[in-house]
């Protein structure tokens, strides 16, 4: 399991395919703040709620200088279905080999109903204009999380 990121750490660089198979890199967003959030699976209730919350607040976040990227281990085809089914406007990226999830400390040991297993740790990393971690939030809740981020960032 990789180390969790701390404020001030350089955000690990990545290039991943989006829902349409186009390559998107963190460096494409240099000069803007980026909210990178990691979620377990497209088209599941919690992840849908979270993605819809980000979509509903995208204008507000973009107006404050933030881009939003959601990353899951799903394949691009599933992300396209998720985007189209839920009318999502956030950028969704596919990380099926979990390299980026791992680099960001968003993949590791989880416990559920007394069982321990490896999985995606719902996390949100706020990256500043210089590519440094501004905030690193792990084990976040899907519901109410976006409102909390907006409040914490003073938007």
Contact between 95 and 19 under an 8 Å Cβ cutoff? The reply is: no
Ranges of beta strands (E only) in the chain are 15-17, 23-25, 33-38, 66-72, 91-94, 107-112, 115-120, 123-127, 133-138
Q: According to the 3-state scheme, what is the secondary structure of 35-46?
A: EEEECCCCCCHH
Catalytic residue among 34, 42, 47, 90: 47
47/30 Cα distance (integer angstroms): 27
Q: Is 47 a catalytic residue?
A: yes
* Residues tagged active-site: 47
């Amino acid at each position: 399991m990789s180390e969790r990121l701390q404020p001030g750490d350089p955000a690990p660089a990545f290039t991943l395919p989006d829902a349409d198979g186009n390559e998107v890199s963190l460096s494409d967003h240099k000069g803007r703040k980026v909210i990178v959030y990691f979620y377990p699976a497209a088209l599941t209730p919690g992840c849908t709620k979270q993605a819809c919350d980000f979509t509903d607040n995208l204008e507000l976040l973009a107006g404050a200088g933030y881009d939003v990227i959601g990353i899951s281990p799903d394949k691009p085809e599933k992300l396209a279905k998720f985007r189209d089914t839920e009318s999502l406007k956030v950028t969704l990226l596919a990380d099926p080999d979990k390299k980026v999830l791992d680099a960001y400390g968003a993949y590791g040991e989880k416990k559920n109903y007394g069982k321990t297993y490896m999985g995606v740790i719902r996390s949100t990393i706020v990256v500043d204009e210089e590519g440094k971690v501004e905030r690193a939030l792990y084990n976040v809740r899907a519901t109410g999380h976006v409102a909390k981020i907006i409040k914490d960032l003073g938007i």
